Amino acid sequence: MRIVPFLLATVLTLALIFGLDRKWGSIPPLGRFLSPQQGFWQNAEPAGETYSETLHFPQLKGKATVYLDDRLVPHVFAENEADVYFIQGYLHAKFRLWQMEFQTFAGAGRLSEKLGNDPRILRYDREQRRLGMVYAAENTARVMESDTASRPYFDAYTAGVNAYIHSLTKSSLPVEYKLLDYQPEDWSNFKIALFLKVMSKDLAGYERDLEFTNAKSVFSLADLKDLYPEIADSTVPIVPAGTPFDAPGIVPVKPASADSLYFGNDTTLQVREINKPERTNGSNNWAVSGSRTASGAPILCNDPHLTLSLPSIWFEMQLTTPTMNAYGATFPGSPSVIIGFNDQVAFGFTNAMRDVKDYYAIRFRDASKREYWYNGAWQPTTIKIEEIKINGAPTLHDTVAYTAFGPVMYDESFTNDVTGTKAIAVRWVAHDPSNEGAMWFRLNRAKDYNDCREAIRGFVCPGQNMLFASKSGDIAIWQQGRFPARWDGQGLFVMPGEDSSYAWQGFIPEDENPHVVNPAQGFIQSANQRPVDASYPYFIPGNYIVPRGITIQSRLSGLQAVTPQQMMGLQNSYDNSLAADAVPLLLRTIDRAELDAKAKGFLRELETWNFHADPDSRAMTIYQAWLDSLERSVWDDEFARIREPQVRPDEQTLVELLLRDSASRFIDNINTPAVETLRGIITSAFTNAARGLAVEEGTNGLSWWKHKQATIMHLLRNSLMPFAREGIRAGGAGATPNAITKTHGPSWRMVVQLTSTTEAYGIYPGGQSGNPGSRFYDNFIDDWAAGKYYRLWVMKASESNDQRVLGTIHFSNN
Amino acid sequence: MRFLVSILLVALFSFIAGLFLPWWSLAIVAFLVGLLVPQSLGRSFLAGFLGIFLLWGFLAAWIDLANNHVLSGKIAQLFKLGAASVLLILITALIGALVGGFAALSGASLRPARRLRTYA
């Protein structure tokens, strides 16, 4: 034995193993990660992988077969109703486990536990907890588990996810686990609820109460009506204008003190919102009745717009049982087909954009937060201690006080600008117990409009425009959700929380929710606009979006003998109705004498523009640069006086304001002695924009897609850019029906013609596999950007020998 | 001959161990081969090193080829190695080889030192 070499070699070997088996900062454990038998190489799928296998699970009640087609869409044929959800859970996990779990960690405010000690991530986690995301999911999970009809399906789904998780080995773990060095934990029904709350926050978590409160300290109530109008001049509602409404079933009463304590109270807020949902989260859906289609059968179309990500939020599936044959886009993390169709009906969703989240000013007795002043006495709060684990640092305990309104989101411990005993509680419909997931079990089995109508009853949050079409010929839409019945102005600003007089007095009766059934115009459209005209008997503030609805309404009214191909064209339309309003104003107002030759050249391009935001359009880039510049010159002076958080009026509002009143008081720059004119600011905005455009022209030729830089990020964003898709050649903007922005856009496009054999088309910007090492990771993206569709194959069990079948998975219980 | 046999033994048994045991099981295999196959320290180290270098390099290259370089290209970019996967395969092989080499050296040093052969 040679002692020195032995000691040296042994110590070196052990040190190497130790060093290569642990994570150093963002570097994964290299030995484990690079090992071809365990590490990321195991995620590099053979290009010829067919995924065929035979699986046995005692949890199953019968047999089932899954055919994976050449786009990796699973067609599930199960003998038993619950089994289909077990298999859906298993397949969601097989192709999307990391994403499913990550989304629920984000929902529950547990990212620090996995991603490490980063102050931004910790603030995000704390905000999720303080918003009551976990509390909301617990409330929902309780209802799910007490509902005997839906619980077996949720249980089966959860069991399927867990069956896959328990089959994992070190080498078959998804690559993100290997990179970040953690293990999946067991799935549960609670996690399904958490996922639904993530969607609720995304879709029903945007309101501007805090910003409006700050704006109110500077602007008059009349100003605010102009800056944030309830109804835009040009809006086209979902319920055709002029449709009569019933008398309201509930008439909320404004508190006597509202003028002094609420509208007249000019206290500014100094809280920081950490992670506001995307402003433009919206969608289009429309249905055309058979009277206006070439085939005589109804056509239903839907393209939900969300922040685009890889892996995609959607996963395409066909679910077949003795009582169901549903096809469409599913949510990994939740059972059922979410947007799709069966052999009798099709269903689609857009966001209602209604404000269902309000804030109340709370006064604690002292720093312990154990009591707050309410209805003339010190009342006890319910204290919830949030335990936030942080990878690589001690656990943080965050004390959240729950009041009669809900959790206290902002207090002196969170966003330290709110001081002393003042605090703000949040009242949010998503906190209320409900069982949204159960709706889809019924919808997937619906046979006609009445079944759909019954299925959606009781759906609380997020409020959605639920659109239906049936082979029996009906088209219908319901704006479904639980919406507070507000007195005029209630909930626009932070409300006094020292007594119950400002609390919600009730909810709008469900049957009074805006709806349209087989309208005379022969079609129904929704695109996140205000659902009704001014005659609707309730005050319904929201985050409405105007322009897409205008384009869709005007296109559909002009079409007869509609074909699915025309509908694809409309989903891919780059028509910008806002530009069509704004550019003529620009052209007739601008002072051409003030422009240099370069700026005149840009202006000429706008003169000949057809208002299409095509990928290569230079005019769209020029228009947007001018509008951005105009917004700055109109708003910068006023908004410099307002504290953060603040929100500026929409582009739509600005354009309508200037069209309506060329001498609007907002045109003047309050910081200069001169009184600015519309002509002056439009010209100077264009001159400024032209200077920037001249520079940009050298880098990208001003083509819109290069200017916009649409990117589909991986869920881990900047830290995993090689897993993202950058430089997507796509046109469109928030105002066009094909609303592709830098980070955002149609996350699933679907066109369904309900002829006796359903003719359906769809595509989403991603791929069926969540594995970056699979050829199915992002294989739909280029076709999606080009506006192409796939014919959706509603497979029959007898077609198992079809060429499109790539692989077969047999499931049985023995 | 012994040298070649050692390389093969290290590669073969590391492969088998890797099917069931953590990645560092290759160190146990290399250690045992170093201990049981008498060779000079230098040759033992090299046998452990090459055995794993070849095994890991071959496996990674084989997987990569079947995968059309889809994943290796992304991981290489993540590690700032450019878009080509060759470098990633070499680094993979090298990392494993270092552990294999030192483990074999450790095993070999446990053997009694051979007396220097004397020549008449």
Q: Do B18 and A38 touch (CB under 8 A)?
A: yes
Please count the residue pairs, one from chain A and one from chain B, whose beta carbons lie less than 8 angstroms apart: 126
Q: Looking at chain A, how many residues does it have?
A: 814
Whether residue B75 lies within 8 A of chain A, CB to CB, comes out as yes
Whether B51 has its CB under 8 Å from any CB of chain A: the answer is no
Q: In what order do the strands lie in the sheet with A710-714?
A: A309-310, A710-714, A725-728
Position A421 scores a pLDDT of: 74
Exposed e or buried b for every residue in A450-466, given b needs 16+ CB within 10 A?
A: ebbbebbeebbbbbbbb
Distance CA A653, CA A231 (A): 10
Q: pLDDT tens for residues B30-83?
A: 999 999 999 999 999 999 999 999 999 999 999 999 999 999 999 999 999 987
What share of chain B in percent tops pLDDT 90? 87
Q: Which of B27, B71, B105 sits opposite A772 (nearest CB)?
A: B71
- Give burial (CB, 10 Å; 0-12/13-18/19+) of A339: buried
Chain B closest-CA separation from residue A781 CA (Å): 16
Using one digit for the tens of pLDDT, what is the confidence trace for A511-562?
999 999 999 999 999 999 999 999 999 999 999 999 999 999 999 999 999 9
Whether B85 has its CB under 8 Å from any CB of chain A: the answer is no
CB of A723 closer than 8 Å to CB of A543: no
* Rounded mean pLDDT, A328-337: 98
Cα gap A746→A709, rounded to integer Å: 16
Specify whether the CB–CB gap between A208 and A277 falls below 8 A. Answer: no
Say yes or no for a CB contact (<8 Å) between B59 and A41: yes
Chain B nearest CA to A771, separation (Å): 9
Question: What distance in Å separates the CA atoms of residue A198 and residue A667, rounded to the nearest whole number?
Answer: 40
Q: Is the pLDDT of residue A159 over 60?
A: yes
State whether residue A383 sits within 8 Å of chain B by CB: no
* pLDDT tens string A650-698: 999 999 999 999 999 999 999 999 999 999 999 999 999 999 999 999 9
Residues of A in contact with B91 (CB under 8 A): 34
CA distance A717 to chain B (A): 13
In the block, which residue shows the tokens 């029996």?
Answer: A472
User: Helix or strand or coil: residue A19?
Assistant: helix
Task: Classify each residue of A395-420 as buried b or exposed e, where b means 16 or more C-beta atoms within 10 Å of its C-beta.
Answer: eeebbbbbbbbbbbbbbbbbbeebee
The CB density around residue A376, as the number of other CB atoms within 10 Å, is 8
- Cα pseudo-dihedral A273, A275, A276, A280, rounded to 10: 150
Q: How much helix, strand and coil, in percent to the nearest 5, is found in chain B? A: 75, 0, 25
Give the separation between CA A691 and CA A558, rounded to whole angstroms.
Answer: 40
H/E segment holding residue A99: helix A81-107
- Summarize pLDDT for A279-310 with one digit per residue, the tens: 766 799 999 999 999 999 999 999 999 999 99
> What three-state secondary structure class fits A778?
coil
**A13 and B106: CB-CB below 8 Å?**
yes
Dihedral sign, Cα of residue A285, residue A291, residue A296, residue A297: positive
State whether residue B98 sits within 8 Å of chain A by CB: yes
What confidence category does residue A269 fall into, taking pLDDT thresholds of 50, 70 and 90? confident
Res A129: pLDDT: 97
Q: Is the pLDDT of residue A419 over 70?
A: no
Measure in Å the smallest separation between the Cα of B117 and chain A Cα atoms: 17
Secondary structure, 3-state, A319-350: EEECCEEEEEEECCCCCCCCEEECCCEEEEEE
3-state secondary structure A502-568: HCCCCECCHHHCCEEECCCCCEEEECCCCCCCCCCCCECCECCCCHHHHHHHHHHHCCCCECHHHHH
* Cβ under 8 Å to A: B residues 12-41: 15, 18-19, 22-24, 27, 31, 41
Nearest CA-CA distance, residue B18 and chain A, Å:
6
- Report pLDDT for A791: 98
Residue A268 pLDDT > 60, yes or no?
A: yes
Run of H or E residues at A129: helix A119-131
Name the residue with tokens 């910068």. Answer: A636
- Residues of chain B neighbouring A29 (CB-CB closer than 8 A): none
CB of A54 closer than 8 Å to CB of A788: no
Give the distance from residue B74's alpha carbon to the nearest chain A alpha carbon, in angstroms. Answer: 5
Q: How far is B19 from chain A (nearest CA, A)?
A: 7
Quote the pTM value.
0.96
Residue A701 has pLDDT above 80, yes or no: yes
Q: pLDDT per residue over A30-89, tens digit each?
A: 999 999 999 999 999 999 999 999 999 999 999 999 999 999 999 999 999 999 999 999
Q: Provide the strand spans (E) within A240-380.
A: 283-288, 299-307, 309-310, 315-321, 324-330, 339-341, 345-351, 357-363, 371-374, 377-380
Q: Say whether domain A577-708 belongs to CATH 3.90.79.10.
A: no
| Token pair 């590690």: residue | B79
- Under an 8 A CB cutoff, do A722 and B74 touch? yes
Q: φ, ψ for residue A48 (rounded to 5)?
A: -100, 10
- Shortest Cα–Cα distance, A44 to chain B (Å): 6
- Residue A377 tokens, joined: 């006495």
Q: Does B77 touch chain A (CB under 8 A)?
A: yes
pLDDT at position A416 is 58
Tell me if chain B has a CB within 8 Å of the CB of A25: no
Whether residue B67 and residue A35 make contact (CB cut-off 8 A), yes or no, is no
d(CA A412, CA A130): 13
A250 in contact with B at a CB cutoff of 8 Å? no
- Give the pLDDT band of residue B118 (cuts 50, 70, 90): very low
CB contact B112 to A (< 8 Å): yes
Residues in chain A with CB shorter than 8 Å from the CB of B80 are none
First to last CA, chain B: 25
Tell me the backbone φ, ψ of residue A399, rounded to 5 degrees: -90, 120
Residue A16 at interface with chain B, using a CB cutoff of 8 Å = yes
Yes or no: say if B55 and B8 are a contact pair by the CB < 8 Å rule. no
The count of C-alpha atoms lying within 13 angstroms of the C-alpha of A49, restricted to the half-sphere facing its C-beta, is 19
B56 vs A: CB within 8 A: yes
Question: Which residues of chain B neighbour A17 with C-beta distances below 8 Å?
Answer: 24, 27, 99
| Average pLDDT taken over every residue of chain A | 95
- DSSP per-residue letters across A596-640: -HHHHHHHHHHHT--SB--TT-SHHHHHHHHHHHHHHHHHHHHHT
Over residues A458-463, the mean pLDDT reads 96
In this complex, is the C-beta atom of B50 within 8 Å of any C-beta atom belonging to chain A? no
Alpha-carbon distance of A602 to A587, in angstroms, equals 12
Is residue A551 within 8 Å of residue A733, measured between CB atoms? no
Confidence of residue B116 (pLDDT cuts 50, 70, 90): very low
**What confidence tier does A422 reach under pLDDT thresholds 50, 70, 90?**
confident
Cβ of B99 and A31 within 8 Å? yes
- Both tokens of A595, joined, read 């422009």
- pLDDT-above-70 percentage for chain A: 98
| Contact yes or no for A37 and B18 at CB 8 A | yes
Of the given ranges (A118-127, A314-323, B7-16, B111-120), which has the lowest mean pLDDT? B111-120
Is A624:A655 a contact under the CB 8 Å cutoff?
A: no
User: CB contact, 8 Å: B64 with chain A?
Assistant: yes
Mean pLDDT of A574-583: 96
Distance from CA of B119 to the nearest CA of A (A): 24
* Cβ-Cβ contacts under 8 Å, B113 against chain A: 1-2
A36: nearest CA in chain B? Answer: B60
Residues 6+ apart with CB under 8 A from A703: A615, A616, A617, A618, A621
Cβ contacts (< 8 Å) between B15 and chain A: which residues?
Answer: 37
Token pair of A770 as six digits: 């969540």
Contacts of A775 in chain B (CB under 8 A): 68, 70
Neighbouring C-beta atoms of residue B45, cutoff 10 Å: 24
User: Closest by alpha carbon to A599, among A676, A697, A673?
Assistant: A697
| Gap between the Cα atoms of A319 and A812, Å rounded | 17
ipTM value greater than 0.90: yes
Question: Which amino acid would we find at residue A69?
Answer: D
Closest CA to A594 of A695, A667, A694, A687: A687
> DSSP 3-state assignment of A578?
helix
User: In Å, how far is B1's CA from the nearest CA of chain A?
Assistant: 24
Sequence-distant (≥ 6) Cβ neighbours of residue A330 within 8 angstroms:
A88, A92, A314, A315, A316, A317, A336, A337, A338
Record: contact A21-B67, CB cut-off 8 A:
no
Chain A residue with minimal CA distance to B100? A13
Read off the tokens for A584: 């003529």
* Domain ranges (residues) in chain A: 577-708
